[in-house]
């Protein structure tokens, strides 16, 4: 390459290439070897190309931002080995002969070894990239963006619409019976989540969209009957039944004003196989959970669920009175636990394990044409530093439950709060906000915000009632903010009186006031009474197992995984 060409910036596939003799490459970076993209494994921090320009560092733009142009470095002329230097002719010396010094020519083993190692590293990277590239052929492709017009403006970061479908027709008879998957498959969406990956690759925000949400689908042609439909109201999950992925994406974009970059459709089969591939997922329950429809049966405590058990857990709608809203909370906790398992078990750092899990998941999913091996590499690189705390979860704020003629019971969004939520997604802002120094909270059944508490000072210590009231209120309890003095001072042990009809709320309050005594008081009503004694030593943070129970805003993944 001449000097003139060396100064000219060179682009390949719209991305900048930098030539050098030695390039420091981060783990999992993509480089080009003679024009072929390869993946550097994590054990190769440096690529050395001493004798010819083999390496060109290519920083993959994760979310469409092209890197800054860097001019090509001029190639220094190759140096000659001492063995190739011309030997000068001896000149006649009339004087006495003297011994000439012996020059020992040492082979350049260090340089050769570096060359060999570079070739091995690049070769291993090429194999890794080829393995991931081969996954492209296993993905069932779909075009959800076909003929879409008047789409929302692109924001910052990446937005992926993740849709869970039935797919029970591909499950064997034995598993169907074991995990209660009988019945005819439903051509509809069972789960709808909007996943936002931040522009700096440091945060994943998951917004659950209730499948029974009231929606208005735009005009379209029914993909099953071929009949043209004008715009009309439906439940959100019916958009998939009428118009497939394309109508689902159009409806979600219309409702949220968030532009969808990628579409990923997961069915029961891929879900179970993915959970098994990462070694199962640990879930904690504050109380026993049972659903006779799905066969779910869990005692209170920790459980490691395999793929089939995990499917029962995220499908169950009859473990409490919250129906689909409660199920969304369990789905969010499960996704947080899955991220924690993938990050703690080394799946994201081990290229072999990462490929195994990716192959398992992608073998039975449907995705848009733009979601391929390069995107998988980018996501893997982006999530290397991920943990449960890097994720945050919320659901669309609900305004009311209404029965619509011809549709049935629907969930209507709180328009103002929903608009504020999706504006934060478009602007790439964290949903949970910064929470410095937050402590791990103990898991309870009932959200503290649903529990009304009246505090009494049972001692002669001045101001103790105000201290206890403020501590409970800061933990989330709905205190009266007007503490009273107890009937008889001198109480040694703190106790709580409660109406037996609100026993679960009483257990939540007792968890926050560790060591307190519970005293049943039939007829007391929903307000719990705390009589602070001399043994009061503070309030322990608590959190509800289901975020929908009056918990405002979003929660981070480490707040909904096992403590």
Alpha helices in 167-236 (DSSP H): 173-178
Convert 6-38 to b/e letters by CB count within 10 Å (16 or more is b): eeeebeeeebbbbbbbebebeebbbbbbeeebb
- Quote the DSSP letter at residue 225: T
Question: Which tens digit of pLDDT belongs to each residue from 93-146?
Answer: 555 554 555 444 444 545 454 544 444 443 444 444 555 555 666 678 889 998
Q: Mean per-residue pLDDT for 434-461?
A: 80
Q: Mean per-residue pLDDT for 221-232?
A: 81
What's the token pair of residue 309?
Answer: 């058990």
Q: Which domains does the chain have, with CATH numbers?
A: 158-427 (3.40.630.190), 446-544 (3.30.70)
pLDDT given for residue 54 in this prediction: 34
Which of 167 and 415 is assigned the larger pLDDT?
A: 415
pLDDT band at 520 (very low <50, low <70, confident <90, very high): very high
Residue with tokens 């000149």: 91
pLDDT band at 51 (very low <50, low <70, confident <90, very high): very low
Range from 87-101, 278-292, 407-421, 470-484 carrying the lowest mean pLDDT: 87-101
d(CA 478, CA 512): 13
d(CA 310, CA 260): 28
pLDDT band at 529 (very low <50, low <70, confident <90, very high): very high
d(CA 321, CA 317): 8
pLDDT given for residue 97 in this prediction: 52
pLDDT band at 187 (very low <50, low <70, confident <90, very high): low
Which of 322 and 227 is assigned the larger pLDDT?
A: 227
Backbone angles phi, psi at 447, to 5 degrees: -60, 135
Q: Mean per-residue pLDDT for 420-442?
A: 78
pLDDT given for residue 123 in this prediction: 41
Q: Mean per-residue pLDDT for 233-246?
A: 90
Whether the predicted pLDDT of 237 surpasses 80 = yes
Backbone angles phi, psi at 239, to 5 degrees: -60, -35
Q: Mean per-residue pLDDT for 406-419?
A: 90
d(CA 234, CA 242): 10
pLDDT given for residue 413 in this prediction: 93
pLDDT given for residue 14 in this prediction: 34
d(CA 500, CA 521): 7
Question: Which tens digit of pLDDT belongs to each residue from 192-220?
Answer: 999 998 888 788 898 989 889 999 998 88
Task: State the chain's mean pLDDT as an integer.
Answer: 74
d(CA 496, CA 390): 37
Q: Are the CB atoms for 199 and 209 separated by under 8 Å?
A: no
Question: Which tens digit of pLDDT belongs to each residue from 267-314?
Answer: 877 788 888 888 899 998 878 899 988 889 999 889 999 998 998 898
- Cβ count near 150 (within 10 Å): 8
pLDDT given for residue 81 in this prediction: 44
Q: Mean per-residue pLDDT for 325-331?
A: 80
Q: Are the CB atoms for 348 and 340 separated by under 8 Å?
A: no
Q: Mean per-residue pLDDT for 15-28?
A: 41
What's the token pair of residue 394?
Answer: 């919320």
Full 3-state SS string of 23-42: EECCCCCEEEECCEEEECCC
Which of 330 and 560 is assigned the larger pLDDT?
A: 330
Q: Mean per-residue pLDDT for 175-201?
A: 78
- Cβ count near 441 (within 10 Å): 18
Whether the predicted pLDDT of 455 surpasses 70 = yes
């Amino acid at each position: 390459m001449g000097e003139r060409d060396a100064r000219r910036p060179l682009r390949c596939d719209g991305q900048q290439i930098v030539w050098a003799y030695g390039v420091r490459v981060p783990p999992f970076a993509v480089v080009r070897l003679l024009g072929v993209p390869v993946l550097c494994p994590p054990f190769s921090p440096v690529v050395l190309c001493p004798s010819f320009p083999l390496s060109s560092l290519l920083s993959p733009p994760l979310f469409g931002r092209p890197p800054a142009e860097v001019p090509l470095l001029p190639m220094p002329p190759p140096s000659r080995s001492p063995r190739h230097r011309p030997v000068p002719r001896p000149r006649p010396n009339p004087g006495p002969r003297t011994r000439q010094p012996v020059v020992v020519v040492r082979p350049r083993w260090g340089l050769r070894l570096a060359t060999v190692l570079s070739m091995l590293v690049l070769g291993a990277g090429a194999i890794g990239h080829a393995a991931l590239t081969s996954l492209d052929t296993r993905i069932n492709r779909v075009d959800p963006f076909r003929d879409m017009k008047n789409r929302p403006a692109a924001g910052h970061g990446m937005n992926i619409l993740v849709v869970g479908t039935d797919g029970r027709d591909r499950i064997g008879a034995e598993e169907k019976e074991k995990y209660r998957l009988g019945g005819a498959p439903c051509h509809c969406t069972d789960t709808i989540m909007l996943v936002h990956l931040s522009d700096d690759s440091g945060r994943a925000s998951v917004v659950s969209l209730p499948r029974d949400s009231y929606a208005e689908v735009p005009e379209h042609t029914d993909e099953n009957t071929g009949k043209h439909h004008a715009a009309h109201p439906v439940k959100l999950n019916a958009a998939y039944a009428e118009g497939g992925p394309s109508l689902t994406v159009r409806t979600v974009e219309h409702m949220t004003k968030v532009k969808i970059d990628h579409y990923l459709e997961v069915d029961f089969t891929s879900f179970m196989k993915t959970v098994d591939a990462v070694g199962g997922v640990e879930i904690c329950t504050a109380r026993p959970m049972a659903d006779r429809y799905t066969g779910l049966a869990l005692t209170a405590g920790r459980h490691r669920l395999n793929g089939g058990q995990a499917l029962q857990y995220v499908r169950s709608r009859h473990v409490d009175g919250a129906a689909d809203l409660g199920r969304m909370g369990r789905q969010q906790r499960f996704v947080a636990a899955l991220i924690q398992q993938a990050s703690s078990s080394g799946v994201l750092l081990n290229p072999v394990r990462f490929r195994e899990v990716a192959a398992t998941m992608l073998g039975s999913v449907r995705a848009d044409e733009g979601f391929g091996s390069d995107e998988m590499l980018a996501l893997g690189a982006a999530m290397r530093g991920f943990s449960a705390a890097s994720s945050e979860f919320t659901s669309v704020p609900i305004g009311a439950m209404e029965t619509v003629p011809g549709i049935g019971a629907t969930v209507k969004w709180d328009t103002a709060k929903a608009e504020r939520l999706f504006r934060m997604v478009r602007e790439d802002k964290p949903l949970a906000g910064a929470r410095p120094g937050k402590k791990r909270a103990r898991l309870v059944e009932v959200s503290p915000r649903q529990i009304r508490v009246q505090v009494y000072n049972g001692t002669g210590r001045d101001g103790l009632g105000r201290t206890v009231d403020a501590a409970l209120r800061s933990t989330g309890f709905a205190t009266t903010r007007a503490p009273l003095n107890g009937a008889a001072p001198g109480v040694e042990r703190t106790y709580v009186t409660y109406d037996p009809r609100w026993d679960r709320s009483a257990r939540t309050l007792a968890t926050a006031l560790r060591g307190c005594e519970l005293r049943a008081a039939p007829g007391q009503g929903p307000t719990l009474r705390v009589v602070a004694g001399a043994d009061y030593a503070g309030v322990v943070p608590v959190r509800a197992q289901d975020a929908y129970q009056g918990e405002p805003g979003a929660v981070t993944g480490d707040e909904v995984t096992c403590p």
